[in-house]
């Protein structure tokens, strides 16, 4: 299977500020990828690099086997919706569709019109007068009707209420069923992504902390709770992700390829949201315990 | 046609929830041999879910011998979990249960008491007879 | 891209058409009458001293009422148009997209940046050139009688509103505006910078460069005291005597009074002839007797088209450079 996105040592600096540091990643095609992390972690930077809007300071990135934005052909295969779904305030909804039609050779105008219809958007309405949610849906329509092989969505549902979020993700999933496409969607809200994504990339502090299929993530992370002394030594083959608690009672999140069984400690498998939170917590307080090394997990 | 629902807070993986809901329906006789499962597209348009998750759930059911995909037509139930118990028995027993519940409610039990009585009796009885 | 370029430019295009139409109406309403008045005044065929009187009265008469208003409006519009085009068509072209974030839509369709930029820039440049050209054509035709009576079109206020130079400035202003917009990335600062740069260029050309674009004519004639510009004497006997250069419509670069030997004349005044407090006729006669010469470099009125062509050529070349820089910047420096 080809790779949707490959990054090798990808770094982006703005003056003294590092937005993305030595990012190495391979996202397989045909997946719906959740790119998660706190604000300022580098998610937007990664997506903008993948869309060809910015260029790396060092390292390389390849999208669908090619340098981003290297040719009209490559541009046609990638759909991008930027954060806050920018639109031309003075152009109507219909104008935006016309823009899509004129600038994209693979444009599916029927798909676009049908979506606008289903969303009950007035084609004659100027984009500047639409609500935030409607603008997000319009921007997504532009990206979908282009029939790209890869969709890059930067916080597409950030400013939407829960119902509108659900509708947007629903429309996205329906599109994936009907037309097939790899999707990378970034979010700092994790809760409703588990049902929608099948690959997870966790980005914190400009670094990649975790990149794996969802099944692997949920199948290899465990939460151990118990006496601090019992948890001094981790089960064989387990790596520490994050540890909290007091000197007497600790809660530890570990990653282990082998099944973990607790004798005197309580062991629970974790859902995606809890795993992501553990990595985000680790990044927020990076000081490791003296005798358990904390490693970046790939 | 069975309708799936996802419980995001349950801690159970989405694909497993689908598998469980199909198995549950099979047990209860709500799904029978020859019935068609909803297409992936139908599931995706009613439940916000990754299509691969649905594929995965249907594959797992296929490995368990419960369903079979027929290319171009859909996925159909080919096994059963109801055992040798005929469907009519399920219908009769279910009706009896409904009558008993109405009886209990008329006797003055609230919902919680009904549930407690059922669970308690079930546990005791299964312990004794197993 | 053609559709999108026009769609985004549409409003400005219509506004310009309306303005051009209004100016055309003014020109048509007053032009023929002006031409007729000029023909009747007899300035065209006159010779000798009466000419300047006829011209003066014709000009004074023409600059009143609707005709006068048309002249002022036309001059302001023509000189101001390149600046407005640069500020409103050039500066926001790239800057607005960068500022509002719509460049993230524009550059992720299936069109690379250069193919997005060139048609938009081309439309703005073309529209500016056509608008400036048509307006200048109309104004040059309309003002012909006034220019003839004035004797020349080299003064900056007139020169910038005639011929092909307005087209050159319009092209340069739009190109510079687009480049500044791409560099500055915010619309209002880009507009302000464009205003300053284009205005500065027009001033620079008018004040310092234009007189030298074509080698000026050099004349050395006997000093005629009948038409003096300056005649003064200071405490130490230092004198300054400068005569007007009477050629009609000429643009004077230097005007110096030299001694017969070729040196700059600075006196000293002969105290017996020139009383410092009251240089009288006696002093003038004495100066007259010195055989002083007037040394002038100037551009005659007939040089109008030569200067226009050279200046427009330079402006168009500069515009091409600005366009090239803009494309390069958008392609390589917006990352």
How would residue C11 be classed by pLDDT, with cut points 50, 70 and 90? very high
Chain A contact present for B44, CB below 8 A: yes
Answer whether residue A224 is part of any domain: yes
Judgement on whether residues A115 and A152 belong to the same structural domain of the protein: yes
Task: For chain A, list the contacting chains (3+ Cβ pairs, <8 Å).
Answer: B, C
Residue A184 has pLDDT above 90, yes or no: yes
Tens of pLDDT along B73-129? 889 998 877 666 676 787 888 899 999 999 999 999 999 999 998 888 888 887 765
C-alpha distances out from residue A165 to A128, A171, A186, A187, Å = 21, 10, 13, 12
B47 contacts in chain A (CB < 8 Å): 195
Pick left, alpha or beta for residue C103 (phi over 0 → left; psi -120 to 50 → alpha; otherwise beta). alpha
Judgement on whether residues C246 and C192 belong to the same structural domain of the protein: no
Judgement on whether residues C255 and C150 belong to the same structural domain of the protein: no
Name all domains of chain B by residue range, CATH numbers in brackets. Answer: 14-77 (1.10.10.10), 87-129 (no CATH)
Tens of pLDDT along A81-109? 999 899 999 999 999 999 999 999 999 99
**Final residue before a domain boundary, out of A205, A240, A258:** A205
Q: Determine the Cα–Cα distance for residues A129 and A127; give it in Å rounded to an integer.
A: 5
A30 contacts in chain B (CB < 8 Å): 52
Q: Determine the Cα–Cα distance for residues A269 and C305; give it in Å rounded to an integer.
A: 87
State the CB neighbour count (10 A cutoff) for residue A73: 10
Judgement on whether residues A179 and A288 belong to the same structural domain of the protein: no
Tens of pLDDT along C54-77? 888 888 888 888 888 888 889 999
Residues 6+ apart with CB under 8 A from B26: B66, B77, B79, B80, B81, B82
Nearest C-alpha neighbor of A216 from the set A267, A282, A270: A270
Q: Determine the Cα–Cα distance for residues A93 and A88; give it in Å rounded to an integer.
A: 9
Tens of pLDDT along A55-84? 999 999 999 999 998 999 999 999 999 998
The shortest CB-CB distance from A177 to any of B6, B8, B40 is to: B40
C105 contacts in chain A (CB < 8 Å): 82, 86-88, 139, 142
> On the CB side of A92, how many CA atoms lie within 13 Å of its CA?
9
With an 8 Å CB cutoff and a minimum of 3 pairs, decide whether chains C and A touch: yes
C-alpha distances out from residue A159 to A137, A173, A189, C90, C113, Å = 12, 19, 11, 34, 29
Q: Which of B9, B19, B48, B58 to mutate to test the interface with A (most CBs of A within 10 A)?
A: B48
C-alpha distances out from residue C216 to B6, C246, C301, Å = 89, 16, 11
Taken as a whole, chain B contains a residue count of: 130
Q: Which of A165, A173, A181, A222 to mutate to test the interface with B (most CBs of B within 10 A)?
A: A173
Residue A293 has pLDDT above 80, yes or no: no
Q: Determine the Cα–Cα distance for residues C300 and C153; give it in Å rounded to an integer.
A: 10
The domain total for chain A is 2
The token pair at B67 is 């369903």
The pTM (predicted TM-score) of the whole model is 0.84
The shortest CB-CB distance from B51 to any of A169, A176, A194 is to: A176
DSSP A192: G
Distance from CA of A46 to the nearest CA of C (A): 13
Residue A48 has pLDDT above 60, yes or no: yes
> On the CB side of B12, how many CA atoms lie within 13 Å of its CA?
12
Is residue C87 a contact partner of residue C170, using CB atoms and an 8 Å limit?
A: no
Pick left, alpha or beta for residue A10 (phi over 0 → left; psi -120 to 50 → alpha; otherwise beta). beta
Q: Determine the Cα–Cα distance for residues A135 and C101; give it in Å rounded to an integer.
A: 13
Nearest C-alpha neighbor of C220 from the set C271, C184, C183, C256: C256
**Final residue before a domain boundary, out of A205, A227, A259:** A205
Residue of C nearest to A47 (CA): C104
Judgement on whether residues C198 and C96 belong to the same structural domain of the protein: yes
State the CB neighbour count (10 A cutoff) for residue A188: 14
Judgement on whether residues C177 and C132 belong to the same structural domain of the protein: yes
C-alpha distances out from residue C112 to A61, B1, C155, C174, Å = 18, 49, 46, 22
Chain B contact present for A28, CB below 8 A: no
C115–A75 C-beta distance less than 8 A = no
A71–C104 C-beta distance less than 8 A = no
Pick left, alpha or beta for residue A207 (phi over 0 → left; psi -120 to 50 → alpha; otherwise beta). beta
C-alpha triplet C226, C228, C230: angle, nearest 5°? 155
Residues 6+ apart with CB under 8 A from C147: C153, C158, C162
Q: Quote the pLDDT of residue A296.
A: 41
The token pair at C222 is 């006997």
The token pair at C131 is 């608008």
Judgement on whether residues C22 and C146 belong to the same structural domain of the protein: yes
Mean pLDDT computed over A27-51: 92
Nearest C-alpha neighbor of A39 from the set A212, A218, A241, A283: A283
Mean pLDDT computed over C8-22: 94
φ/ψ of C290, rounded to 5, equals -75, -10
Tens of pLDDT along A111-161? 999 999 999 999 999 999 998 889 999 999 999 999 999 999 999 888 788
Answer whether residue A210 is part of any domain: no
**Final residue before a domain boundary, out of A167, A182, A205:** A205
Judgement on whether residues A221 and A201 belong to the same structural domain of the protein: no
Q: Determine the Cα–Cα distance for residues A171 and A185; give it in Å rounded to an integer.
A: 14
Chain A contact present for C291, CB below 8 A: no
Judgement on whether residues A172 and A268 belong to the same structural domain of the protein: no
CB pairs under 8 A between A and C: 74
- ipTM score assigned to the predicted complex: 0.88
Give the residue numbers spanning the domain of C172: 1-214+303-333
Q: Quote the pLDDT of residue C277.
A: 64
Judgement on whether residues C190 and C267 belong to the same structural domain of the protein: no
The token pair at B37 is 């499962």
Judgement on whether residues C162 and C235 belong to the same structural domain of the protein: no
Is residue C124 a contact partner of residue C93, using CB atoms and an 8 Å limit?
A: yes
Q: For chain B, how far is it from start to end, CA to CA, in angstroms?
A: 36
Task: For chain B, list the contacting chains (3+ Cβ pairs, <8 Å).
Answer: A
Judgement on whether residues A223 and A193 belong to the same structural domain of the protein: no
Answer whether residue A211 is part of any domain: no
Judgement on whether residues C151 and C11 belong to the same structural domain of the protein: yes
As a whole number of Å, the CA-based R_g of chain A is 21
The shortest CB-CB distance from A102 to any of C3, C107, C113 is to: C3
Judgement on whether residues A34 and A180 belong to the same structural domain of the protein: yes
Judgement on whether residues C154 and C245 belong to the same structural domain of the protein: no
Q: Determine the Cα–Cα distance for residues C141 and C135; give it in Å rounded to an integer.
A: 10
The shortest CB-CB distance from A80 to any of C108, C111, C113 is to: C108
Interaxial angle between packed helices A132-145 and A162-179, expressed in degrees from 0 to 180 and rounded to the nearest 10: 10
B11–A198 C-beta distance less than 8 A = no
The domain total for chain C is 2
Judgement on whether residues C226 and C111 belong to the same structural domain of the protein: no
Judgement on whether residues A280 and A183 belong to the same structural domain of the protein: no
Judgement on whether residues C208 and C221 belong to the same structural domain of the protein: no
Chain A contact present for C98, CB below 8 A: no
Give the residue numbers spanning the domain of A85: 5-205
Q: Quote the pLDDT of residue A295.
A: 41
């Amino acid at each position: 299977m080809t790779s949707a996105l490959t990054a090798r040592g990808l770094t982006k600096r703005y003056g003294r500020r590092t937005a993305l540091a030595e990012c190495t990643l391979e996202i397989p095609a045909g997946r719906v990828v959740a790119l998660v992390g706190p604000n300022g972690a580098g998610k937007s930077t990664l997506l903008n690099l993948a869309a060809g809007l910015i260029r790396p300071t060092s390292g390389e990135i390849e999208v669908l086997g090619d340098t981003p934005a290297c040719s009209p052909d490559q541009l046609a295969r990638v759909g991008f919706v930027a954060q806050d779904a920018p639109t031309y305030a003075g152009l109507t909804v219909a104008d935006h569709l016309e823009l899509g039609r004129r600038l994209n050779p693979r444009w599916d105008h029927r798909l676009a019109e049908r979506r606008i219809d289903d969303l009950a958007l007035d084609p004659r309405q100027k984009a500047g007068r639409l609500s935030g949610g409607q603008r997000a849906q319009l921007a997504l329509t532009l990206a979908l009707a282009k029939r790209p092989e890869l969709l890059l969505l930067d916080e597409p549902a950030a400013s939407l209420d829960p119902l509108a979020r659900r509708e947007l993700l629903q429309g996205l999933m329906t599109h994936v069923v009907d037309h097939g496409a790899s999707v990378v969607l970034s979010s700092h809200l994790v809760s409703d992504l588990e049902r929608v994504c099948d690959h997870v990339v966790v980005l914190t502090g400009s670094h990649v902390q975790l990149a794996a299929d969802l099944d692997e993530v949920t199948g290899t992370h465990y939460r151990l709770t118990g006496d601090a002394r019992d948890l001094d030594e981790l089960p064989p083959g387990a790596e520490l992700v994050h540890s909290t608690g007091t000197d007497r009672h600790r809660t530890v999140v570990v990653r282990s390829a082998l099944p973990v069984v607790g004798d005197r400690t309580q062991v629970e498998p974790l859902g995606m949201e809890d795993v992501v939170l553990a990595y985000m917590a680790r990044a927020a307080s990076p000081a490791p315990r003296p005798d358990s090394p904390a490693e970046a997990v790939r | 046609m069975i309708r799936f629902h996802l419980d995001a807070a349950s801690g159970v993986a989405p694909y497993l929830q689908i598998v469980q809901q199909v198995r549950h329906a099979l047990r209860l006789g709500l799904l029978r041999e020859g019935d068609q499962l909803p297409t992936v597209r139908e599931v995706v348009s009613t439940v916000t879910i990754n299509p691969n998750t649905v594929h995965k759930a249907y594959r797992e059911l296929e490995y368990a011998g419960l369903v079979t995909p027929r290319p171009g037509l859909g996925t159909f139930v080919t096994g059963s979990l109801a055992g040798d118990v005929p469907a009519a028995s399920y219908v009769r027993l279910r009706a009896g249960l409904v009558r008993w519940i109405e009886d209990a409610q008329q006797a003055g039990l609230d919902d919680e008491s009904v549930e407690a009585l059922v669970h308690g009796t079930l546990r005791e009885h299964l312990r004794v007879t197993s | 891209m053609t559709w999108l370029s026009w769609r985004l430019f549409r409003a400005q295009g219509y506004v310009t058409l309306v303005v051009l139409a209004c100016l055309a109406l003014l020109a048509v309403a007053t032009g023929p009458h002006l031409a007729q008045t000029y023909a009747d005044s007899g300035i065209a065929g006159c010779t000798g001293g009466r000419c300047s009187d006829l011209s003066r009265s014709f000009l004074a008469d023409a600059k009143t009422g609707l005709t006068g208003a048309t002249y002022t409006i036309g001059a302001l519009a023509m000189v101001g148009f390149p600046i407005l085009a640069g500020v409103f068509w050039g500066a926001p072209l790239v800057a607005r997209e960068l500022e509002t974030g719509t460049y993230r839509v524009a550059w992720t369709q299936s069109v690379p940046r250069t193919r997005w930029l060139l048609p938009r820039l081309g439309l703005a440049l073309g529209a500016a050139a056509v608008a400036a050209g048509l307006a200048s054509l109309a104004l040059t035709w309309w003002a012909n009688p006034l220019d003839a009576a004035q004797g020349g079109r080299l003064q900056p206020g007139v020169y910038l509103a005639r011929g092909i130079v307005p087209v050159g400035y319009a092209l340069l202003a739009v190109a510079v505006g687009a480049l500044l917009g791409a560099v500055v990335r915010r619309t209002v600062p880009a507009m302000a910078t464009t205003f300053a740069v284009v205005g500065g260029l027009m001033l620079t050309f008018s004040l310092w460069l234009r007189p030298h674009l074509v080698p000026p004519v050099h004349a050395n004639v006997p000093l005629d005291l009948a038409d003096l510009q300056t005649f003064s004497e200071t405490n130490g006997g230092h004198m300054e005597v400068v005569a007007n250069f009477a050629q009609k419509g000429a643009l004077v670069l230097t005007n110096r009074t030299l001694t017969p030997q070729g040196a700059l004349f600075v006196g000293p005044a002969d105290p017996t002839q020139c009383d410092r407090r009251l240089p009288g006729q006696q002093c003038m006669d004495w100066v007259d007797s010195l055989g002083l010469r007037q040394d002038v470099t100037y551009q005659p009125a007939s040089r109008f088209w030569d200067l226009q062509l050279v200046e427009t050529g330079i402006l168009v070349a500069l515009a091409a450079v600005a366009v090239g820089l803009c494309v390069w910047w958008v392609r390589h420096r917006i990352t």
